[in-house]
Amino acid sequence: MKTTTQSKWIILLFLAPSLLGFIVFSLIPIVSALYLSFTSWDVIGGAPEFIGLKNYASILFSAEFYRVILNTLKYISLYIPGIIVSSLFVAIMFDRDIKGIGLFRVLLFIPVLTSWVAGSIIWRSVLSGQYGLMNNLLAIVNIDGPSWLTDKSWAMIAIVMVSIWKDLGFFSLILFGGLRGIDRSIYEAARIDGASSLKVITRITLPLLTPTLFFVLITTLVNSFQLFPQIMVMTGGGPDGATQVMVERIYTYGFRYFQMGYASALAIILLIIIVTITLIQLVLQKKWVYYE
């Protein structure tokens, strides 16, 4: 079908509302951030001053940047295995016909629907060292719980725990969908051939689930770099910088120190990191993801 010039205008007209929103709220800010990242601008002092790559240089030469990356890697190394194993386990449970599983599914999904800020505020009090619910429960079984959010070695672990609590419902549902998509006749064939249930999981379920796992991996990895509300509410980057992460730094530089240029450069670096990771995964997926 040929589109005439006139119908092009009509298409544009219908696109206009969302296009306008995209331009005003996404495109202009992205382009401005790119420009600001080459400037020094502290908001109160008039127009931004062009300083070239200086922001990028000072980020890459700062101890802080590597601390932030290290913190993020620590989060990733705990969160991703944690979320994948636990949501896979839950998804396999969902897939069995256990009585009352429907109710369990609903309960597990409640944290997903909860706002991050509300959830974090509640967890902050649950994890409070002296008065928190968590340590009082642990005390019943004679465990002396740490001061989760103010102890440097526990703060990131606490953040990971809360993140898994929040995301478990979502990712187990996604994996459950993946499991349901596997053709039942393959299982039947395996059973007839006498395969053990462990073999069925490792040789059939997991390989056929790889497209879904790939989706989960890429989403959780990208989310890990965008970690923010739970940090902001629960620790504010502390104690002593142990939970400082990229987006928290962007916020702190932008709205606490009013260093918009520096904050924008951090945001662009974050963008580059996320795009790179996604590209690497897209290449690597050819090696391990099976599409039927």
Partner 1 sequence: MIKKIILLLSFVLLMAGCSSTPQVDVKEKETITFLNYSSNGGQEATLTAMVEAFNVAYPDIIVEVETLGYADYFTQLATRVAGGSAPDVFELNIENFRAYADKGAIAKLDTSSVDISQIYPKTLTAFQIAGEQYGLPTKFSNVVLIYNKDLFDQAGVEYPTADWTWEDELAAAEKIRALGDDIYGIFRPIQTWEFYKTVAQNGGSMMNADQTTFTLNSSENVEALSMMVARINDSNVTPNAEQMGGMGDWDLFKSGRLGMIVTGIWAFGDFSANCDFDWDIAVEPGIKVNATHFFSDALVVSSDSKVHDAATKFAAFISGSGEAALLRANANWDLPVALTDEVEAAYMAITPPANKQAVFDSLNHLVMPPSLEYFNMVADELQIYLGKAVSGELTAQEALDQAQASVSSKFSK
Instruction: Please give the residue ranges that form the binding site for partner 1 (CB under 8 A).
Output: 42-46, 58, 61-64, 67, 128-131, 147, 150-152, 239-241, 252, 255-259
Q: Which is nearer to partner 1, 75 or 214 (CB)?
A: 75
Residue with Cβ nearer partner 1 (1 or 44): 44
Tell me whether residue 28 is exposed, middle or buried, using C-beta atoms within 10 angstroms of its C-beta: 0 to 12, 13 to 18, 19 or more. Answer: exposed
Nearer to partner 1, 64 or 183 (CB): 64
Tokens, residue 124 = 């902050």
Which residues, in sequence order, are CB contacts of 143 under 8 Å at separation 6+?
none
CB 155 within 8 A of CB 148: yes
CB 232 within 8 A of CB 22: no
Q: Which is nearer to partner 1, 67 or 105 (CB)?
A: 67
CB of 25 to partner 1, least distance (A): 18
| Cβ contact 246:266 at 8 Å | yes
CB of 261 to partner 1, least distance (A): 13
Q: How far is the CB of 27 from partner 1 (least distance, A)?
A: 21
**Least distance in angstroms from the C-beta of 23 to partner 1:** 21
Q: Is the peptide bond before 211 cis (omega within 30 degrees of 0)?
A: no
Q: Which is nearer to partner 1, 257 or 290 (CB)?
A: 257
Closest CA to 97 of 180, 174, 167, 193: 180
Closer to partner 1 by CB, 188 or 240: give it: 240
CB atoms within 10 A of CB 287: 6
Min dist. Cβ of residue 176 to partner 1 (A) = 40
DSSP 70-120: HHHHHHHHHHHHHHHHHHHHHHHHHHS--TTHHHHHHHHHHHHHS-HHHHH
Would you say 82 or 145 has its CB closer to partner 1?
145
Indicate the residue type of 245. V
Least Å distance, CB 160 to partner 1, is 21
CB of 152 to partner 1, least distance (A): 7
- Map 33-59 to HEC letters: HHHHCCEECCCCCCCCEECCCHHHHHH
